[in-house]
Structure 1
Amino acid sequence: MYKLCFFVPETHLAQTKQALFDAGAGRIGDYDSCAWHCRGQGQFRPLEGSDPFLGKQGALEVVEEFKVELVCKDSLVREALEALKQAHPYEEPAYEVYRMEEM
């Protein structure tokens, strides 16, 4: 089992989570669509050669975003990451992947 975490603007929160759920992520036992999210602020500066969804090249951008966490079976993690990248509005979405151990 893996835990996936990613950061997304509110405008794309629901559609990005749904894409991951459709790929099979967010299932725990007899439950699906399981996720946790909280609001926070992210920041970035688009560099030369970027094509930012938000902000302008060379300018620091601070945005309201959500951090989302959900689990994913080993066999589905690559498909889930591809779904995240396709649904996410950012050119290069920030995400984390952690291997979970069953105890």
Structure 2
Amino acid sequence: MSDKKLYEQKIQAEFDTCKAQVDKFKAEASGASANAQIEMHKQIKQLEEKMSEGKTKLQELADASEEKFDEMKKGVESIWQSTKSTLHHASKHFGK
């Protein structure tokens, strides 16, 4: 399997893990007070936006040629780092 395919699978797995955490946050938010729900939903929305950006970049990477892989990989890494940072920040609001 090519490095590109392995990398795509790795990042996809990381985004899947992040999505599972967002789903968990959504479940927690439904049981929170109204004020807490507002902040939780704000954090969830930010995460979903970052994940959407990441999915777009990952799809661009998948569609790119092997020659463009290294160039495209930097963009995916940047989005993934931003998504992880947003997830970490949201986790603080969810008490995790």
The alignment's TM-score, normalised by the length of structure 2, stands at: 0.36
Higher relative contact order (CA 8 A, sep 6+): 1
Specify the structure having the higher radius of gyration (Cα): 2
Higher share in helix: 2
| More strand as a share of residues | 1
Give TM-score, length-normalised by structure 1.
0.34
